[in-house]
Structures are given as structure tokens and as C-alpha cells.
């Protein structure tokens, strides 16, 4: 299995989403990171790309340079990720699709509906993949929820209720912080603030799990911090094609909420609940029955949920990244910058001494024994 | 930054821990997977290694072949991971250390204390890194706990209480399943069952967070399923060098527990609590004060916790792996096996139509509007 | 302190809310239950009242009889609770107020706004107490939330979000059950179903904690089970006089939710969260700071929260009712109907033997000792 | 149904447990509080008893006076509760049993095993009820757990694990507080501190749910605050007659734990978990199946759990006490001390205006409407 070639536009040093894309692309060893235009400052972008292991010839200064450089190569990238500021998604995505590249675009895909329709047509004409990073829909237990709804396990969907609320923009004294301010400035963010930023994840997930589309909606927007032109809090009621009622609340001033994304789906014969902070579990209640906890990795999950579960049931969601942190510390140590926390051979030895001590103690009816390795006594 | 070269022994097709090592090593793009002896069946191991992208010359049939093949190369691996059956850890780790390789060994590092002392001496003599995969200690908020204890933020530690309990071996009718049985057979697992398998993670973490060593202990072991020679449930009381009292319960027959690893540390001026199922949070209570929730990624964390947090505070622990799942689906799609759940351009377009619909509705006092893109009406 | 005299109208045998009123009135020993018209079937009502210890002369057949009987007594009731079907609340409450009684009326107080205005005027003219049983507002930690908001501890309120969702009417096959059906029948329930039944608890609590009134609102109602004329799911957006934005979702088809009443209040300098299923805790986050858990009974609570906490901090919310259950079993046992679970002297003895056994074992370094009392060996 | 007559010894003004006994005895209207010797200071006890509504002739100065006064009355108390300091439980309980009274004794029933045996014999000889207030065993879902175990629903019990940990004595600077100190002073508390104080609740519950007795045990006690002679932290391993393994941890220095009482029972075919902070739920996992949440009040509970559930499933555990708080405020208001939080007629009216406003808005497609009653506009 040779690796696919991957390139990224945006996501440079200090980017919030860039590291998640790199980890996402590299984690399974199926992509090789070979090209990038990572920063709007060409020199910084080229330098950072090379620090990440990209060859100098494919460390591009901007996306046009990258498009020009890649499009005629035999070993052109198999996939381009677009992780640039929102307003640029459209033209970059369109250009790469037209040149025959597969594209993964950060959300929102475009700023206007017209641009969106344009992308749909271009993608179709190109025959290439155009994906949007609604990544919450790729959690195994979200896939399980979708599969259960499609299999009729909760009956016809009556109601879907979803929230995406955080409080990270709740401090009015921080409202002029540039990392915050642009989100509520129509010149930079477009027509919508918090709903376009987080709410659309929730709306997508409602469609995704219900396997149905939003048909009409009614919205109430509020700018609870007066200096904001765009909403920092929104409630959207909607109806889906199949008749389901929808409720969506999103907020960035919900002080105390960190990652408050959850969804509940209620059908004629059952209800489902999932939350991003307990991603390992899907809560299921059959009508008239007891609530059940469906665990990631358990036997009998739908195929898509099983395929994406990665580690076996005894290991919680964050486990592989804890292993990755061990490798981080190892890389640093190999590079001559040892990290304090790396478990060493002495730690391994102490464990064995404790194991043998415990065996001896248990055999002696719980007698207290020295737990230290002889060499450390 | 050129990549470090990484090789693995064991962890082949169907292995439980192999995928976590691969993801851990590859996730940050700092290692390249270049060599492996992945299976005790030489041909299967060679084939699987090549499927994972390793060159035919470094897809080895067994670890001795790998040692011979690597030790004289200029581009020899910078790190070897040993993920073989427990009884083989000692000789492989020792051999690679003696040949001057850095080693990450799965736990338990050895079967006996004597072997463990041997490894400590060999590692020291070699000047090479010998690490043990106590990966739970690498969660950011575990590092935060350790840093807080070391900084005196809970005062002198009085008491540490830790549990690692699951129920995956609680079915007596499944006790002869080979994946279960060996763990309770002294010929294969050594002197201890569940305590050596899971309990030592908890014991290591007690030492790790308290920054102190276990001095003496008293154990009560039980084989609650009669056919088992080794314990499937254990309670260990211990005392640390600094005087702290310790309590450790571990079980594999705790039916209903999935990933039940938690630790509580109580000092003179405060208490801490962490659980593997809520890895994003460290719970802290100052004596006489209110319980506080310390969030991964928040401002003011100790340096080591901050460094290993990976994604910003608004993203929960599993987030990067959800992104990785999107890339999995993309790799499949590019390879001609499209996956149903991948969010496509139509999904991106529908979001934009909903955003603009919501803006229009909010401006019109909540009037109901069509939320569909014109092209899909 | 002599007891106050209490009477109840409605709340007879099989009533859902009657037992909670009796327990509520009797729990603190401040009221004596001396009069009642408990059932719309006079004979059943009289009989049940007498079974509950009410004298035959004050066991009334209906409320008019009770009004006539009580109004000229010197020892007339000090308080009348009205727990009859909703449509009768108005006339009963009005009549008792006009006759100079204090009244506690179940919600909703009336069916129409005009009736409600009438009650307000009558209550004011009478100089008597007219209270409505929005009992959730009497949880200690709800009082604490209100006191914190009033004291400015979260700054000016920006946003309040509250949900009251359950799934007990989610089974369409049970929709004709008379205990369910009347709630969705305008002839019996009035203009609104679920919003009038549960939503108003949430709306009252929003006003109560924010110490402000709802000024305007926009609602979306749905009857997700087709046979229902009234809504079983509702979303209400509102604005308060002080400018706060409000969001309220209520549902009776949220299958899997049991007692899903929660409220979040977000102000300029902090956020609060309370849920009826964790009533002992109020979650508080100061802007830019860590989330804190405020515990019922902790030192420094506002006076009203402290006064109503009942048992000290080491005892959870349900504790006094567990004690009450012991007394239930005792009453049965004294009445000659012994209950299996009542802890007896043998249980008390076994505990002492275990305590002394544990002391002896601990002194002997954990030696195993017989834990049984000599007389039971 | 005439009421039973109840008297209490101890539990006077400022007592921690007295209010829970009064509420417990009075809540269901089955007992009348007619006699008491509430304080070791005779005058204070007599005065407090009369404040609580007891007649002057039965407001006794001490327990001997009460015994003398009650034993020859025709209307003698049907039940005496003993809630005095631990060291006095034995002689009071014994004396009342011998005089033919039913007794509910606070735990611990006695200080020594010999005394305990004496009580068992006296109780048996008297034919009277001698109960011990292990009140946690009276939670409905604890009764459900016991019934499930007895019905074989989790098979033969293999393992029971229980914790009762709090941190209220974790402040060494408060260790001389008299309310804390006596618990660790052998002259006042007897042979054991925390294990006798809290641990025995957990040990009783293990026996209660498993319907089996503790046969032998091994203990590890620690005084983590140096000034204490008795243990403030204990671990007890035990074995039950039926072969089940037991683990019990109890602590009073677990800073941050408030009411940390929980129990897990693991059998051959299933596991159960209950915690005092989520008393409404019993968590059940059948071997090889999904975890289920059993809710207080659901259809199909065992009889004893159903009988003690008090309020229907839609009402959480604390609900009746919130209603009781409304009655507290009413009693104060009637007594001329109005409380701020009592919901009044204006609150009832505002709700009706909101309901009718919401109906109108929903009918008008979500149009914003005035939500205020006309008289308050």
C-alpha cells in the first residue's frame, strides 16, 4: 500500500485547525505530507513547510504558486486541504477542483449560496471529490446513530434537538482581541457570526444523523455584546423534508461551557443522545424501555461505526493520543531534549518489583512486603 | 526537520495495541515507519509490513533478523518499539539496547525483577533511551496533576486512591477464549494476572503524579472465576517513601465498567481527581474551598500539560481522531471505495443556504423561510 | 410553637401530586392536616381523608362543603391547598381568598389571563396569601442562583437558556391513555399542552433567577403525535425587561429523558447552571476563570439557600426521605406488617463485630480475622 | 388510620441528625411527635421540645425521666428514637426495650460486641422492634438492587466494592474543632474513627444488597493527620459467607468528595452500581450486554422499590423536599415573616399571559407578541 500524497493550504504556524489536519492526515499512515502553502506570508509559509519535512520545491509561497507547481507533476498531490480564512475557500477550492484535484475544504465551504452552487456544479463536472470538514460527523458513535436511524431503530424521526454552545467569546473586555473580533465583523465573517461558525456543525449533524434535509427554518439572532454587528447567540427552529421538527441553539457567550456540542434525536419508537464530551457513548432509549449505553467498540455496532473505532473497547477515545504524546517525548529525547515525564526503565523495573511483591503478599495473607527492587533499596 | 526513523516488533495484523503505536508514532509527523518484524509468522509479518508501506528489505521475518539487518545500516532506526508477547520483552529490549538502539517497550518491561534490574543496568551502560509505555501518564491533565503536586499546590500528599477496573473478562463462559485465557495462566502471563496487566498502570500513575515511589505494600488477590489460576481482582494497599498512604483496586470482572481508570490524590491543602473517561478535565479542590474544574488547554496550565494539549480548548479530546476519520474516508474514496458518510459539496452548500436563510429570518423577526439552496428546491 | 392548620382540596387516592403536598406540608412539623375535600367523588374523598387521620366532621365531600364548613370555625384552616383539575383552580382559589383564607394553588393558577388578573386583584383586596406551587424555585441551590444574580455576581444577565423535557408521552400507542390524552385536548387542558404543563415551570424559573420579567416572546409549537390537537413540543424565544435574551425548550416526546429540567444563566461576568437531577450542585463559572461547583450546605451560601438546605453538607438531597422510608417500615412493623428490609439489632451487632474485627486486623498488620459476632459463629 | 405516637431522645437544637429524624417521622403523617428528651441540658431540652409542639408534661429533662414518664401511660409512645452520643446508645436502647418499647437506634448501636449481643438478646426476649438507622439501605433503588440480587438477576455474587469517602475532616487546622476532634479520640469514639462512623454504612449495605454476611476481613487503617489517634482513612478487604470478595474504602480526608457513598456488585451474570449522589438511578449491566439505567418509579420495579418511591417517575428524588420548602415559606408568611422567594399570584398570572402569548405567537408563525398581562403593561 503506497501512501497517498497530501498537501495543505493554510494551517500554518499558530493556526488553530492546522495541527488537527496534520494529525488527521498522518495518523493512519495513509497520506504523506508532500506539499503546502501554509501561510499568507510566503516566506514564513515556505520555512514552516520545510520544518514539517516538505521538500523545498514543494514548500510554496501561496496557493496559486502551489496550483501551478502541482498541476503538471506526475506525482501531484492526491488531496488538497483548504484551511485558509473563510472568504478564500471558494476561489481556492474551485480552482483546484477545476484543475482535477480532490479537495477537502474547511467549513464554511463558501460565503454565499451562489458560490456554493458553483462549487457543487464544478465538483460534479470535475468528477473529483469535494469534501467539507464536518468532522464531528466522523465520530464512530455519530456514525452509529445515523446507521440506527437509517435502519429504522428509532422509527420515523419526530424531533431533533441540538446545541453547540461555548463561552470562549463571553468576555466583553476581550472582544477586541483580533482572534475574536473578526468573527462578528460582517466584512470578515460574512452574513452570520456564531451560527455560521459553530451552528452549521450542529445543523449538518442533524441532517447527517436523520438522513434528511432541512426544508425551512425560523431564526432568532442576538448580539449579546453590544459592540458586535453579528450574532453571538442564535436559536433556529426548523423542519426537515420528512416532517421532523428541529431545534438548534448555538452560543459563544455561554460562559462555563467548553465543548458544548450535543444532539438528541427522538423518533416514534426510541430516542438517541450523543455529546462531544462523552464521544465514546451513544445513549439509546427504546420507547417504553430502559435507557441503554452503547459503547464505542462493542460487539454488534453498525459497520461504519465499527470500522472507525480504531482502538478496542477497553481503550477510551483519547488513548491513541496519549500514546502519541509518549512518542512526542521520545522524539524530543532522541533529539537531545529529554522530557521529565517519559517513563523509563527504572519505572518498568519498579512495576515488576511491585507485581512480585503483591504476589508474595497475597500468598502470605496480606503480609506487608517491601515493594522496591533490590537495586533501589 | 527531517523525520526520525521508527521500527516496530510485534503489533501485526489483528493486534490490539499495534494500531495505537502506529497512530502514536505517525500522528505528529516526527517519525517515519521504516522497519518492522510485525508477526511471529515470518511471512505474514513481512507481507503486513509491506502493506503498511515498509520497503521489502526492511520488512523482517523476526526480531533477530531485524536486529541483524538494522544494526549496521547508516539509516538504522532511531527508535524500536517492542510490542510482542510479554515473556519476550526482556530479551528483545536487552538485545536492542546492547546494540545501541533507543527502545520503547510495552508494559510489563520484564517478567521478573532480576530481568528488570538487568535492563536498568544495560540501559544505563548503553546511554540509550529505554522507555516503557505507561501511556496514561502522558495525558495532558495527568501531567498537570503531577506538576501541581510537585509545585506544592495540594501540600504534602497524604493519600492516593486509584482504580483500574473493567468487566471484559467477567463472562465465565468466555473464559476459555484464547484472548482471555492466557492472562490467567501462569505459564503465559507469569506470576500475576490482572494486577500485572492493568494494576501496574495505576501503580505507575500513583508514583508519577505523587513524584514518589512505592515502598511497601499488602495485597489481597482473588480469582473470582474458579478456573483461573491467577487473580482477576486485586486490592493493594501501599505506602510511599514520603509517607503517603495508597489504595489500589483493579479488576477484570467488574461487569459494566469499560475504561474504569481513575486516580484521586489528597494532600494537606487540596485534592485532585482524574479519570480516563473524562480526560479533558482535572478536578481540583483546595481545602476549605470549592471544587474547580481545570480544563485541558486553559490559560495558565503547567508547561508540560500545555505542550501536550495538541488542540485548543474549544476542541474535546477525541476531536483530532474525528478529523483523522474524515481522512480515512477520503483515502478510501480516492482509492475508489467511496464511503457513505463523507460530507460533500452538497452538504457544504446546504449549510450556506441555511446560514443565509437564518440571517434573513432573524432580520424578518423570525419569519419562516425556505432553507434549501435554489438548485435543490 | 403550635402547628398551623392545613387543608387540601383534591390530591386524593391515586393522585400524582397529592403525596408530594402532604409530605411537603407535614415534613417540618409546622402544619397539621385537619381538613380536606380530596376527591370529586364525595364518598371516596371523605373516606380517604379519614384514613389520613382527618376527623369525620372535616372530611368534606366537595370544596363548597369545605368552604361552608371551615369559614365560620374558630379553628378554621390557616392554609388551603388547591390540587384539583386545572380548570377548577380559578373558582376555588377565588372563593377561598374571598372568604379570607390563605391559598396555595397548583399551577396553572387559572386557564385565562382574565381569570389570572381577577385572582391578583382578589388576593390583593383580601390581604391574604395566594401562592402558586412553582416548587422547583424552592430548591436551595435555585435560591442561591437567584441570590447570586441579584448580588451582581454574574453581572448583568445577557442570556438565559432553560429546558424542561421528558419522554413520558412519547408512545403514540399510549396516546389514548386517559392520564395522557387530556393534556392534549383543548377542552380539558385549555389553549396549550406541554408548554402550559411543564414549560411554565421553566419560564417561571427564568424570571425567578434573573429577578426580571418576560416582556415579549416568539413561539414554535409542534404536535409530533398526529392525534394531538395541542403541542407536545415547544420552543419559545423571549426577551426580558432588562434586555436578556431567553431560550426555552419543552417536550413530552423526548424519549429517554426523565426529569430533564435545567437552566443556564449567562451574564457579563459569569455563568450559572443548575439541573433538577443534580439538585445539590450549582455550577458557576466566572468569566476568564475556572468552573466551580457550589455545594448545597457549604459555608458562605446566601441566607435563603442556607435556610432551606435542611441537612448538613455531608448528606445528599434524598437523604431525609431515605430516613422517612425507615420510619415507613417501622410504622408498618408496629402495625404488624413487618418489612423485610428494616435493619435490625442483628445488623447493628454485626457492624460492631466488623468494627472491632477491623481494628484488630489493622493492629495486626492486616491479618485476616473473623468478622462475625461470637453469638452468630 | 390513627397516628402512631413517637418520641425522641437526643437530636436537640443544633443536632446534625435530629432534623432528618423529625422529617423522616413526620413526612408521611403516620407518626405524631408527642414526647422527647432532646438535650443533655434538661432545661434546654424541655424548652426545645415544647417549641416543637410537644406538651409540657412529655417534654422531658433526660431519658430516665422519659422512661419513667412514658412507661405507665396508656398513650405511651409507640416508638422511641435514640439519637444521643454513641456511647449512650447501649444503655438507653436496652432500657427502653426492656420496658417494652419499640426502638430505632442511631448507628452504631453499641460500642462493643458484648453490648451488641446483649441488645440482640434483650430485643428478642422483649418481642419488640429494635431497628438501627442504616437509612441508606432504604433508598428505593437500593431496595431494587437487593431484590434483583435475591431474584438471581446478576447470578451468584462474586465481588462487592463500596466506598464512603468525604473530605470534611481534611483540614488539619480544623482538627481541634470539637465537632471533628471527638471522632478521632478513643475516649469518646471508641476503638475506631472513620470506619465506625461511615464505613459501617457501606459494610451494612454490602450485606444488605448481597443478602449475605461478612465472614472475615483484613483491614488497613491510617491516621493521615498526625494528631489523630484513630483512623481517618481505612481499607477493609472481606469475604462473605457465600464466597463473595469484598473491598471497602472509607475516608474523611478525601478533600473534594462531599457525599461519596457508592456501591458496585458484580455477579456471574451481571453488575450493579448505585451512588448516593444519583439516588434515582440503578445502573445494571447484564454480562455481554449493554449497560441499562433503571429509573426510580419505572414500571416493573420490584415491589419494595416501588412502594418506597413516593413520587412518580417524572419527579426527581429531591422534589418533595422542594415542595416542603414552599410550605416552609408559607408557614413563615402566615406567621407574619414573609419570604422573598414565595411564588405569588402575580407569578401565576404572568405564566398564563406567557402561555396565551405563546399560543398566539405559534399560530402566527412565530410572530413576536407581548408576553405581559395587560394589568402589568
Instruction: Write the residue in D218, D291, D365 that is nearest to A292 by C-beta.
Output: D291
Q: Which residue has the cell 405564566?
A: D351
Q: How far is CA C213 from CA A253, C112, D370, in A?
A: 21, 19, 12
| Cβ–Cβ under 8 Å, residues A144 and A282 | yes
Q: Which helix (H) or strand (E) holds B274?
A: strand B270-275
Tell me whether D75 touches chain C (CB under 8 Å).
Answer: no
Q: Which helix (H) or strand (E) holds B157?
A: strand B157-165
The per-residue pLDDT for A65 is 98
| Distance separating alpha carbons of residues A163 and A251, to the nearest angstrom | 8
| Cβ–Cβ under 8 Å, residues C149 and C211 | yes
Residue C79 DSSP symbol:
E
Taking 70 as the threshold, does the pLDDT of residue C107 lie above it?
Answer: yes
Q: Which helix (H) or strand (E) holds C103?
A: strand C102-105
The per-residue pLDDT for B314 is 65
D280, D286, D352: which is closest to D316 by C-alpha?
A: D280
Taking 90 as the threshold, does the pLDDT of residue C314 lie above it?
Answer: no
pLDDT tens figures, B255-303: 999 878 999 999 999 999 999 988 989 999 999 999 999 999 899 999 9
The per-residue pLDDT for C237 is 96
Instruction: Write the residue in A154, A161, A237 that is nearest to C220 by C-beta.
Output: A237
User: For the CA atoms of chain B, what is the radius of gyration?
Assistant: 25
| Distance separating alpha carbons of residues B347 and A281, to the nearest angstrom | 26
When pLDDT is averaged across residues B95-116 and rounded to a whole number, the result is: 95
Strand, coil or helix: A283: strand
| Distance separating alpha carbons of residues A333 and B79, to the nearest angstrom | 11
Taking 90 as the threshold, does the pLDDT of residue A337 lie above it?
Answer: no
| Cross-chain residue pair C348–D138, CB shorter than 8 Å | no
| Cross-chain residue pair A367–C365, CB shorter than 8 Å | yes
β-sheet bridge partners, residue B37: B9
| Cβ–Cβ under 8 Å, residues A222 and A235 | no
A171, A166, A230: which is closest to A201 by C-alpha?
A: A166
Residues of chain B with CATH 3.30.360.10: 137-307
Chain B hits for D264, Cβ within 8 Å = 254
The per-residue pLDDT for D317 is 66
The per-residue pLDDT for C315 is 73
Query: B-contacting residues of D 312-351, CB under 8 Å?
Result: none
Neighbouring CB atoms inside 10 A of D71's CB total: 15
Strand, coil or helix: A220: strand
What distance in Å separates residue C375's CA from the closest CA in chain D?
A: 7
Query: B-contacting residues of A 111-140, CB under 8 Å?
Result: 111-113, 115-117, 119-120, 123, 129-140
Which pLDDT band holds residue C1 (cuts at 50, 70, 90)? low
A160, A145, A161, A164: which is closest to A267 by C-alpha?
A: A160
Measured CA angle at B366 (ends B364, B367), to 5 deg: 70
The per-residue pLDDT for A314 is 64
When pLDDT is averaged across residues A61-86 and rounded to a whole number, the result is: 96
When pLDDT is averaged across residues C52-81 and rounded to a whole number, the result is: 96
| Distance separating alpha carbons of residues A146 and A148, to the nearest angstrom | 5
CA A276 to chain centre: 10
C-alpha cell recorded at residue D52: 416543637
Q: How far is CA C92 from CA B61, C12, C81, C102, in A?
A: 90, 16, 10, 12
pLDDT tens figures, B332-345: 888 888 888 888 88
Do the strands B102-105 and B130-132 form a parallel or antiparallel pair, or are they unpaired?
A: parallel
Tell me whether C170 touches chain A (CB under 8 Å).
Answer: yes
Neighbouring CB atoms inside 10 A of C38's CB total: 32
Q: In sequence order, which residues have a C-beta less than 8 Å from that of residue A311 and are 6 or more positions away? A: A297, A319, A320, B16, B19, B20
Do the strands A102-105 and D281-286 form a parallel or antiparallel pair, or are they unpaired?
A: unpaired
| Cross-chain residue pair D159–B273, CB shorter than 8 Å | no
Helix ranges (DSSP H) in A270-372: 303-307, 319-334, 345-363
Provide the terminal-to-terminal Cα distance of chain C, rounded to the nearest Å.
51
Tell whether omega for the bond before A224 is within 30 degrees of 0, i.e. cis: no
- Per-residue confidence in pLDDT tens, chain D, 377 aa: 578 999 999 999 988 889 899 999 999 899 999 999 999 999 999 999 999 999 999 999 999 999 999 999 999 999 999 999 999 999 999 999 999 999 999 999 999 999 999 999 999 999 999 999 999 999 999 999 999 999 999 999 999 999 999 999 999 999 889 889 999 999 999 999 999 999 999 999 999 999 999 999 999 999 999 999 999 999 999 999 999 999 999 999 999 998 789 999 999 999 999 999 889 899 999 999 999 999 998 999 999 899 888 777 767 767 888 888 888 888 888 888 888 888 888 888 998 898 899 999 999 999 999 999 999 99
| Cross-chain residue pair C264–A287, CB shorter than 8 Å | no
C-alpha cell recorded at residue B257: 465498567
How many distinct helices (H) and strands (E) make up chain B?
A: 13, 14
When pLDDT is averaged across residues B97-120 and rounded to a whole number, the result is: 95
| Distance separating alpha carbons of residues B291 and D275, to the nearest angstrom | 19
Tell me whether A254 touches chain B (CB under 8 Å).
Answer: no
pTM, rounded to two decimals: 0.94
| Cross-chain residue pair A366–D290, CB shorter than 8 Å | no
| Cβ–Cβ under 8 Å, residues A159 and C233 | yes
Instruction: Write the residue in D237, D294, D366 that is nearest to A290 by C-beta.
Output: D294
Do the strands B270-275 and B260-267 form a parallel or antiparallel pair, or are they unpaired?
A: antiparallel
**What's chain A's average pLDDT?**
93
C-alpha cell recorded at residue D19: 432534623
The per-residue pLDDT for B323 is 87
| Cross-chain residue pair B291–C290, CB shorter than 8 Å | no
Task: Specify the CATH superfamily of domain B4-133.
Answer: NAD(P)-binding Rossmann-like Domain (3.40.50.720)
Taking 60 as the threshold, does the pLDDT of residue A363 lie above it?
Answer: yes
| Neighbour-count burial of D229, counting CB atoms closer than 10 A to its CB (0-12 exposed, 13-18 middle, 19+ buried) | exposed
A376, A196, C190, D17: which is closest to B353 by C-alpha?
A: A196
Q: Which residue has the cell 484543475?
A: A99
Q: By CA distance, what is C333's nearest residue in D?
A: D129
Instruction: Write the residue in C255, C285, C291 that is nearest to A271 by C-beta.
Output: C255
| Distance separating alpha carbons of residues B204 and A349, to the nearest angstrom | 11
What is the count of residue pairs from B and D with beta carbons less than 8 Å apart?
A: 126
Q: Which helix (H) or strand (E) holds B345?
A: helix B345-363
| Cβ–Cβ under 8 Å, residues B284 and B264 | no
C-alpha cell recorded at residue A257: 461551557
Neighbouring CB atoms inside 10 A of B176's CB total: 9
Residues of chain C with CATH 3.40.50.720: 4-133
| Distance separating alpha carbons of residues B304 and A342, to the nearest angstrom | 11
Instruction: Write the residue in C222, C256, C271 that is nearest to A255 by C-beta.
Output: C271
* Greatest mean pLDDT range, B24-38, C342-356, D344-358: B24-38
| Distance separating alpha carbons of residues A106 and A281, to the nearest angstrom | 26
When pLDDT is averaged across residues A110-139 and rounded to a whole number, the result is: 94
Tell me whether B78 touches chain A (CB under 8 Å).
Answer: yes
When pLDDT is averaged across residues B114-136 and rounded to a whole number, the result is: 94
Which pLDDT band holds residue C310 (cuts at 50, 70, 90)? confident
What distance in Å separates residue C218's CA from the closest CA in chain B?
A: 8
DSSP letters of A26-84? Answer: HTTS-EEEEEEE--SSHHHHHHHHHHTT--GGGB-SSHHHHHHHHHT-TT--SEEEEES
β-sheet bridge partners, residue A157: A267
Tell me whether C275 touches chain D (CB under 8 Å).
Answer: no
C-alpha dihedral, B279 to A284 to B198 to B14, nearest 10° = -100
Tell me whether A170 touches chain C (CB under 8 Å).
Answer: yes
Chain B hits for C365, Cβ within 8 Å = 218
Lowest mean pLDDT among A58-67, A228-237, B302-311, D72-81: B302-311
The per-residue pLDDT for A317 is 66
User: For the CA atoms of chain A, what is the radius of gyration?
Assistant: 25
| Cross-chain residue pair D109–C33, CB shorter than 8 Å | no
D313 vs C20: which has the higher pLDDT: C20
What distance in Å separates residue A264's CA from the closest CA in chain C?
A: 8
Query: Which CATH number applies to B137-307: 3.40.50.1580, 3.40.50.970, 3.30.360.10, 3.40.50.720?
Result: 3.30.360.10
pLDDT tens figures, C247-257: 999 999 999 99
| Cβ–Cβ under 8 Å, residues D347 and D376 | no
Tell whether omega for the bond before D128 is within 30 degrees of 0, i.e. cis: no
β-sheet bridge partners, residue C220: C235
Strand, coil or helix: A357: helix
C-alpha cell recorded at residue A296: 464505542
3-state secondary structure chain D: CCCEEEEEEECCCCCCCHHHHHHHHHCCCCEEEEEEECCCCHHHHHHHHHHCCCCHHHECCCHHHHHHHHHCCCCCCCEEEEECCHHHHHHHHHHHHHCCCEEEECCCCCCCHHHHHHHHHHHHHHCCCEEECCHHHHCHHHHHHHHHHHCCCCCCEEEEEEEEECCCCCCHHHCCCHHHHHHHCHHHHCCCCHHHHHHHHHHHHHHHHHCCCEEEEEEEEECCCCCCCCCCEEEEEEEECCCCEEEEEEECCCCCCCCEEEEEEEECCEEEEEECCCCCEEEEEECCCCEEEEECCCCCCCHHHHHCCCCCCCCCCCHHHHHHHHHHHHHHHHCCCCCCCCCEHHHHHHHHHHHHHHHHHHHCCCCCEECCCHHHC
Amino acid at each position: 500500500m503506497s501512501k497517498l500524497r497530501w498537501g495543505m493550504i493554510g494551517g500554518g504556524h499558530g493556526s488553530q485547525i492546522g495541527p488537527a489536519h496534520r494529525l488527521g492526515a498522518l495518523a493512519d499512515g495513509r497520506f504523506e505530507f508532500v506539499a503546502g502553502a501554509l501561510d499568507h506570508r510566503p516566506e514564513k509559509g515556505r520555512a514552516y513547510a520545510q520544518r514539517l519535512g516538505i521538500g523545498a520545491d514543494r514548500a510554496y509561497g501561496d496557493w496559486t504558486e502551489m496550483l501551478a507547481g502541482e498541476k503538471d507533476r506526475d506525482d501531484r498531490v492526491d488531496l488538497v486541504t483548504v484551511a485558509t480564512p473563510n472568504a478564500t475557500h471558494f476561489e481556492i477550492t474551485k480552482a483546484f477542483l477545476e484543475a482535477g484535484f480532490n479537495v477537502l475544504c474547511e467549513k464554511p465551504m463558501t460565503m454565499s449560496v451562489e458560490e456554493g452552487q458553483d462549487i457543487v456544479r464544478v465538483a460534479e463536472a470535475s468528477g473529483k471529490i469535494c469534501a467539507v470538514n464536518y468532522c464531528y460527523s466522523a465520530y464512530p458513535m455519530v456514525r452509529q446513530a445515523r446507521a440506527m436511524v437509517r435502519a429504522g431503530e428509532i422509527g420515523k424521526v419526530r424531533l431533533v434537538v441540538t446545541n453547540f454552545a461555548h463561552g470562549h467569546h463571553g468576555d466583553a473586555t476581550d472582544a477586541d482581541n483580533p482572534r475574536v473580533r473578526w468573527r462578528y465583523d460582517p466584512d470578515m465573517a460574512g452574513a452570520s457570526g456564531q451560527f455560521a461558525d459553530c451552528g452549521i456543525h450542529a445543523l449538518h449533524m442533524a441532517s447527517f444523523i436523520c438522513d434528511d434535509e432541512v426544508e425551512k427554518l425560523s431564526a432568532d439572532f442576538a448580539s449579546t455584546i453590544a459592540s458586535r454587528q453579528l450574532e453571538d447567540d442564535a436559536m433556529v427552529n426548523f423542519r426537515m423534508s420528512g416532517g421532523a421538527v428541529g431545534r438548534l441553539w448555538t452560543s459563544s457567550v455561554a460562559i462555563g461551557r467548553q465543548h458544548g456540542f450535543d444532539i438528541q434525536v427522538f423518533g416514534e419508537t426510541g430516542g438517541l443522545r450523543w455529546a462531544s464530551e462523552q464521544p465514546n457513548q451513544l445513549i439509546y432509549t427504546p420507547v417504553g424501555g430502559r435507557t441503554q449505553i452503547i459503547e464505542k467498540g462493542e460487539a454488534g455496532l453498525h459497520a461504519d461505526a465499527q470500522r472507525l473505532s480504531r482502538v478496542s473497547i477497553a481503550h477510551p477515545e483519547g488513548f491513541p493520543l496519549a500514546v502519541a504524546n509518549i512518542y512526542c517525548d521520545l522524539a524530543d529525547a532522541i533529539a537531545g531534549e529529554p522530557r521529565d515525564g517519559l517513563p523509563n526503565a527504572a519505572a518498568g523495573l519498579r512495576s515488576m518489583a511491585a507485581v512480585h511483591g503483591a504476589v508474595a503478599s497475597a500468598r502470605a495473607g496480606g503480609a506487608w512486603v517491601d515493594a522496591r527492587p533490590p537495586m533501589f533499596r
